[in-house]
Every structure is written in structure tokens, then in C-alpha cells.
Amino acid sequence: MEILCLILFFLWLYAFGKKSEQEFKLDVKLSDLHTISNLMQQAANISDQAKQQEFLSALGALMRYGFEVQKDGFSTVERELFHCRELLRAYSLSSRHGCHLQVDVAPEYHRVKLPGLSLICLLENALQHGVKQGQSAEIRLHIQETRNRKLTFAFSGYQLPEAKALERAPKGHGLFFLKKRLEYCYCMHNRHQDQERLFLKEEQLIMQIPV
């Protein structure tokens, strides 16, 4: 089991480790994805064979998704949410407590495009830094469109990061890199130069993209 986990871990690093300087802000490896590596290490603690298979199924789905996203860098809200739940499934199986994701989103937004793995990066950050070890949590995600045609993804229900995590690159946080990646994607493709893409407001961590 430990050998298999190591193989999967190196496959994951291979999927996100290859990047040119030009792709710097597009590569999800910038978020470090510490939860993935932690799950790999914890996998050896799963003694039940059925749970081991379920764990590997969830983690395999995440890695296949990672390879797919590498093709053009974008995905859809629907696919991101599906794989967020796969991450939570693996997390719950490898720990003695569970976290739930409560999502409020209208069906018409399921097909909206967004940078691939961006929601997973935010969820990973919540699990790694916002949920106390040994405790369960219910993370909330509210998705809605603003009057000026922006789609907002508001995370709450856990200990939010400090604002400085969005402004510099402290060890262990991928939020700064995600913020830069969002700015890069939408400045390049939509010419929205002066819009905040990732910010804290009213006890929520909000990601915002044009519709």
C-alpha cells in the first residue's frame, strides 16, 4: 500500500511539476497542494480494504482531472465541484473526522468556464489551514452573479486566512499564487486589468471571474 501511494504521489508531481517560465501563473503546482501529499502519507493508515479502494478511486479521479486540465488550463464549475467532492471523500477516508461542502449554485452556472483546479486549490487551503486537526467542519460555498456580470465564489464556515496570505507568498499557502494566476488569466484573455480576483470580505474568501 505504501509503495502504491508513493507511485501515485510521484505521478501527481509529474502532472503539475512540468512548466515553462511562461506558464508560471497558470500551473496549479504553484498552490503546492499540500493536502494531496498529506493524503498520500495518511493512506497507509487505512486498514479496511474496501476503504483503501475507495480512497484510491477518489485520488485517481483527482489526478486524471489534473492531467486533463493541463491541456488548456480551464474547466467548468460543474467539473470543479465534482472533483472538490472527490477531494473531500479522500480526506474523510484518510482521517478520523469528516468535512462537508455545502454548495449553493444555480444550474445555469454549471457550464461557466473557470481556471482549472482553482476551486480545488481554495478547498485544499481550507482543509490544510482553516480546519482544526481532529475536528469536523462544514465548508460553505455560495456562487452567484453580480450586477456587473461577475461570478463570485464565496467560501466560508472555517478559519479564513489572513489578508497577507493573498499579498505575498508565505510558506504553505497557495492563495497568493492563485490570485496571481487569476489576474494573469483574465488580463490576458479579457483585458480586465484592474479587477480584484481573490479577496476577503465579510468573513468570506471570495474568488471572482467575469461571466
Q: What is the pLDDT along the chain (211 residues), one digit of tens a residue?
A: 545 554 555 455 444 444 443 444 344 444 445 556 667 777 777 888 888 889 888 888 888 888 788 777 889 999 999 999 999 888 888 776 678 899 999 999 999 999 888 998 899 888 877 777 667 778 999 999 998 889 999 999 988 888 887 877 655 567 887 888 888 777 655 554 556 789 999 899 999 998 8
Asked whether 174 and 30 are in contact (CB, 8 A), the reply is: yes
Per-residue pLDDT, 204: 94
CA distances from 168 to 32, 59, 117, 171 (A): 15, 30, 20, 10
Beta bridge partners of 142: 104, 154
Q: Treating both helix axes as pointing N-terminal to C-terminal, what angle do 77-94 and 49-69 enclose, rounded to 10 degrees?
A: 150
Distance, in Å, from the CA atom of 127 to the CA atom of 34, rounded to the nearest integer, reads: 10
Beta-carbon contacts of 79 under 8 Å, excluding residues fewer than 6 positions away, are 65
Domains of the chain, each with CATH number or no CATH:
2-15+24-210 (3.30.565.10)
Per-residue pLDDT, 4: 54
Per-residue pLDDT, 113: 94
Distance, in Å, from the CA atom of 40 to the CA atom of 110, rounded to the nearest integer, reads: 30
Number of alpha carbons in the 13 Å side-chain half-sphere of residue 151: 20
